[in-house]
Amino acid sequence: MSKVDRRILKTQEAVKKAVVELMAEKNFDEITIQDISDRANVSRGTIYLHYLDKYDLLDKLIESHFQELRNKCTAGAGVDYLAGSPVWTEYFERHYPFFSTMLASKGAPYFRTRFLDFLVEAFGGEADVAQGKNQGLHEAVIVKFVASAYVGVVEWWFANDRPFPHQVLAEQLGILLERNL
């Protein structure tokens, strides 16, 4: 695997940071490539070297965060992220500008749906429908219910400017997930 030039990475980070900052200020539909290039201090051509358009840029930005969360789950295979591990909530905390913009501001309206789909994938196969409290229920319903609740709580946490530390959020989400999966 070849190494990516640090200048390219620096440019891509500046562009991603610029789009998140702009989304905190105005609706994504109102943002232009020129706005992004001005904020990132790069040419429009540089942006088009890396992205097809602003939608491709946003898509790749969102996917990079979800991939990082997937990697954290894989890396922490011995850690049950569903049972109160702060792996995800620490990531949310560390990337506060991105998630708060996406979930609690004028950010991308479709981010919430993408986040929900990501969680449905992550929680899939976790619901015990063979016995116990979920016996007789459809796994898809349980997983969608739990993922929707998780998105709602995380969204609330950001909208209320993180009213308690991410470790508390992780612990309480873990308890709720254990009760429902």
Q: Does residue 110 fall inside a structural domain?
A: yes
Instruction: Tell me the per-residue pLDDT of 122-150, one tens digit each, with 9 for 90 and over.
Output: 888 777 766 778 888 888 998 999 999 99
Please give the model's pTM, rounded to 2 decimal places.
0.84
The whole domain housing 27 covers: 6-180
For the chain, how many structural domains are there in total? 1
- CATH of residue 163: 1.10.357.10
Q: Does residue 34 fall inside a structural domain?
A: yes
Q: Does residue 1 fall inside a structural domain?
A: no
Q: Does residue 144 fall inside a structural domain?
A: yes
CA dihedral 106, 102, 119, 60 (to 10 degrees): 120
Q: Does residue 117 fall inside a structural domain?
A: yes
Cα–Cα distance measured from residue 177 to residue 172, given in angstroms and rounded to the nearest whole number: 9
Instruction: Tell me the per-residue pLDDT of 6-47, one tens digit each, with 9 for 90 and over.
Output: 888 899 999 999 999 999 898 888 999 999 999 999 999 999
